[in-house]
Chain A
Amino acid sequence: MAFLKLSTHTIKQSLSAHSSLALTTAALLYLICLTGTLSVFFEEFERWEQPNIEEYLDYSPNQIQTAIQHFQERVSEQPKTLWIVLPTKAVPRMHVSGDGQEWFINADGSLSEPPLEAWTTMVTKLHMQLHLPEDIGFILVGIMGVILCSLIFSGLLSHPNLFKDAFRWRLGRPTLAQVDLHNRLSIWALPFFLMIAFTGAFIGLMGLFSVIAGTAFYDNDNHALLDAIYGGDPVISEAVPNLDFDNAFKILKTTVPDAVPIYLAIQNINTESQYFEIAATLPERLIYSEIYRFRADGSLINHQRLSDGEAGRQIAYSVYRLHFGHYASFWVKLVYGLLGLALTIICASGINIWLARRKFESVLNDLWVAVVWGLPLSLTVAALLSFYNWPPLRVFGITETIVMVLALAMKKPFKTRGILMALLVMSLLAVALTRTLHRLNEATPAIFPGVNASIVAIAFVLGIVLYRHIHLKVNAR
């Protein structure tokens, strides 16, 4: 194995690169990892946030027709594409949307409330685009994915004992415990973190790639490039006016019995070139869906070949589920949540180690405590006040600013950390309690008490960490 031994110079340089990259991007990376971990459960949070929506798994073509009719009556202008999101086990709700207008569908086909754009939307948008304009935000988060890959490479090259110490966890000394935690979490989940970084970068930078590669290879036509990867749209003429969903669902059931429809998209609605697509998941496949195209009369045109086309197309369409952990069952989400939390802890502990090794404290210590404990606190306060119709993003920003000012004014990071942890525990309990009290006399889906119980459990675990934190201070005295 001597040939694998790295020179001291390479190790030093890699360590310098690792810490430089981490210091430059730590806060942003931490925010992306934290919100990403929460985003894994966005479906559960959406149902918890808006529990009064009718839930069911069965739907009929008649119900879809009625919903479309109601939608068309409500909007002033017909959208080019109309989407009907079908109920699934993960989200047993149905909704119709087009041109930014959206409503849930009741079991009888009538329209219910519009989906709430509150805390969950804020968290997912924060993860995907940092609430920046879409193009810039996606690119920035994509670049963070590339930097995470760089951090993984530099981390591997700068820690020669990473494999040697693979099972070591020395507790008792705070810094040493952090070093071991950082390295153990990093090494064992390395393939997962690489996958998350790569798929995140892939999703975020696809837009940028379509521009630079579209200019180079497709005469500035980036739509042509995207069509080459994902497949183009069919051209239809002289379509019949009525959409026959019944026939389409029957054909789909006969052609691909295992396919589970997840959404329906009606293209060029009420024109001669109208047709519709049924997107369906396939068992044991990571692709987001296969898209089956039907003429207005319900006869099958073709499928987009996302499941059986070129390998590149299948890979490009598999990155979404792989990144968000939305495949197989709820257990996968739980594991993704745990590993996402591990990546968040790695971000925090990495900077903690760097700060501890300086042997002195400065403004950075205060700011870092405000980031690590202030961000989850701000997210929780935003959730709590969103129940009272406060805009979550504004609450999040204001809370984090207050936390930063508080941390800078106190100049005692250890004490600040304790206070922020205590506030976080209290606000988590307040979220669960408020939510329960708000819906005490209403029928709620099974997920509702589940989410509340999970929040209480998290508060309990954090309470133990807080107790240990206080205990540590007493010991130090």
Chain B
Amino acid sequence: MIFIAIIIQLAGLALLYRSWCTPNRKSGTNAAAWLVLITALWPWQQAVGLEYGIAFWCVAIPLIAWVFVVNNREFRNRTTPPRIRKHAWPEKKQTVHAVLKILITGPVALLASFVCASFLSAAAYRGAGLAEANHLVLNLSLLLLFWAVIIYWVTAKPLRWQSTSALLTFAIGGSFWLYG
């Protein structure tokens, strides 16, 4: 069964590669390729169970895909011109800004994420009657997701006092709801 699963995944990726090689990639072929790839989940879970099956399916994709990537490698020889050495210190601006943003907004972002995650998981807890363990694990999972998104959002946007104070107000307001 494992062999069948690998063959199906190989077929799916081959289809994806074939579609990729044509000048005008057809979305139909791409969709079919992904469908074949997803189909491989079935023999995987038949062979090793649902949990291992999903994990094996996930880790098999990069290993098979790299066979096609290596097969498709191309050589473009050109020597790089030597680079000038500047007696300059590291570009402080970008790094310092990023560090400052993370330092300033990191704990605020954590609190804001926790407020959001607690609100949503509490709603699911009360609304859908979630069990306590499910409620807490959902809370932590959402917290991690929101925190990662807020870190991205904060680092992507220029640091402005309006957005920072909005985040701060939300975090403090939410803390009153949680801890007040």
Task: Find chain A residues with CB under 8 A from B72 CB.
Answer: 167-169
Known: A21-B98, A24-B99, A184-B69. A313 touches B78 (CB 8 A): no
Cβ A172 vs Cβ B88 within 8 A: no
Question: Which of A249-257, A357-365, A396-404 lies at the binding interface?
Answer: A357-365
**Contacts of A283 on B, CB cut-off 8 Å?**
49
Contact B73 A362 (CB under 8 A): no
Chain-B contact segment, one of A149-157, A290-298, A435-443: A149-157
A141 within 8 A of B: no
Within 8 Å of chain B (Cβ to Cβ): is A147?
Answer: yes
Q: Identify the stretch in A76-84, A211-219, A385-393 within 8 Å (CB) of chain B at 4 or more residues.
A: A211-219
Taking the complex as formed, is A405 at the interface, i.e. its CB lies under 8 A from any CB of chain B? no
Distance A284 CA – B82 CA, assembled complex (angstroms): 55
Q: Are B20 and A166 in contact (CB under 8 A)?
A: yes
Give A204-228 as 1s and 0s: 1 = Cβ < 8 Å from B's Cβ atoms.
Answer: 0110010011011000000001001
How many residues of chain B have a CB within 8 Å of chain A?
75
Contact (Cβ within 8 A) A216 B85: no
CB-defined contacts of B135 to chain A, threshold 8 Å:
312
In terms of DSSP, what is the predominant structure of the interface of chain B?
Answer: helix
A286 to chain B, nearest CB (A): 5
Q: Name which of A12-20, A40-48, A53-61 contacts chain B.
A: A12-20
Q: How far is the CA of A311 from the CA of B84 in the complex (A)?
A: 58
Q: Known contacts being A212-B114, A285-B49, is A17 close to B59, with CB within 8 Å? A: no
- Chain A interface, number of residues (Cβ within 8 angstroms): 81
Residue interface bits A179-197, CB-to-B below 8 A is 1, else 0:
0000011001101100100
Residue of A nearest to B49 (CB): A284
How far does the alpha carbon of A335 sit from the alpha carbon of B61 in the complex, in Å? 11
Query: In the assembly, what is the distance between CA of A311 and CA of B49, in Å?
Result: 17
Q: For B50, list chain A residues within 8 Å (CB).
A: 284
| Residue pair A411, B136 in contact (C-beta under 8 Å) | no
Task: Say which one of B3-11, B139-147, B165-173 lies at the interface with A.
Answer: B139-147
| With contact pairs A228-B132, A476-B79 given, residues A20 and B140 touching in the complex (Cβ less than 8 Å) | no
Contact with B along A310-342 (1 / 0, CB 8 A): 111101101000100001100010011011001
Task: With both chains docked as a complex, state the minimum distance between the C-beta of A150 and any C-beta of chain B, in angstroms.
Answer: 4
B138 and chain A: residue at smallest CB distance? A312
Q: Which residues of B contact A147 (CB under 8 A)?
A: 148, 151
In chain B, positions 75-92 with a C-beta closer than 8 Å to chain A are: 75-80, 82-91
Contact at A188–B61, with CB atoms within 8 Å? yes
A169 x B69 contact (CB < 8 A)? yes
Contact B80 A167 (CB under 8 A): no
Q: Are A174 and B51 in contact (CB under 8 A)?
A: no
> Which residues on A sit within 8 Å (CB–CB) of B89?
362-363
**A167 to B74 alpha-carbon distance, docked (Å):** 11
* B164 located at the interface, meaning its Cβ lies under 8 Å from any Cβ of chain A in the complex: no
CB 8 Å contact bits of B149-180 with A (1 = contact, 0 = none): 10110011100000000000000000000110
Residues of A within 8 Å of B118, CB to CB, are 213, 216
Contact with A along B55-67 (1 / 0, CB 8 A): 1101101110110
In the docked arrangement, what's the CA distance between A339 and B145, Å? Answer: 23
B83-A216 in contact (CB<8A): no
How far is B155's CA from A14's CA once the two chains are assembled, in angstroms?
8
Q: How far is the CA of A191 from the CA of B102 in the complex (A)?
A: 26
Contact status A188-B90, CB under 8 Å: no
Asked if B131 and A362 sit within 8 Å, CB to CB, the answer is no
Chain A residues lying within 8 Å of B80, measured Cβ to Cβ, are 173-175, 476
Chain B proximity of A136: nearest CB distance (Å): 14
Question: Is there contact, CB below 8 Å, between B156 and A13?
Answer: yes
- Find out whether the CB atom of B52 lies under 8 angstroms from the CB atom of A328: yes
A301 within 8 A of partner (CB):
no
A27 CA to B108 CA in the complex, in Å?
25
Contact call B85/A411, Cβ cutoff below 8 A: yes
Identify which of B70, B88, B139, B179 contacts A215 (C-beta below 8 A).
B179
A149 and B63 contact, CB distance less than 8 A: no
B39 within 8 A of A: no
* Residue among B51, B72, B88 facing the most chain A CB atoms (10 A cut-off): B51
Contact across chains for A201 and B156 when beta carbons are under 8 A apart: no
Residues of A within 8 A of B91 (CB): 358, 364
CB nearest neighbor in B for A309: B133
Between A and B, 10 residue pairs with Cβ closer than 8 Å are A20-B95, A23-B98, A167-B65, A173-B77, A188-B61, A202-B140, A213-B136, A216-B178, A284-B51, A336-B59
- Ranked nearest first, the 5 interchain pairs of A and B with the lowest CB-CB distance are A284-B49, A312-B137, A20-B98, A149-B148, A312-B134
Q: Show the binding face of A for B, using Cβ within 8 Å.
A: 1, 13-14, 16-17, 19-21, 23-24, 143, 145-147, 149-150, 153-154, 166-176, 184-185, 188-189, 191-192, 195, 198, 201-202, 205-206, 209, 212-213, 215-216, 225, 228-230, 283-286, 309-313, 315-316, 318, 322, 327-328, 332, 335-336, 338-339, 342, 358-364, 411, 475-476
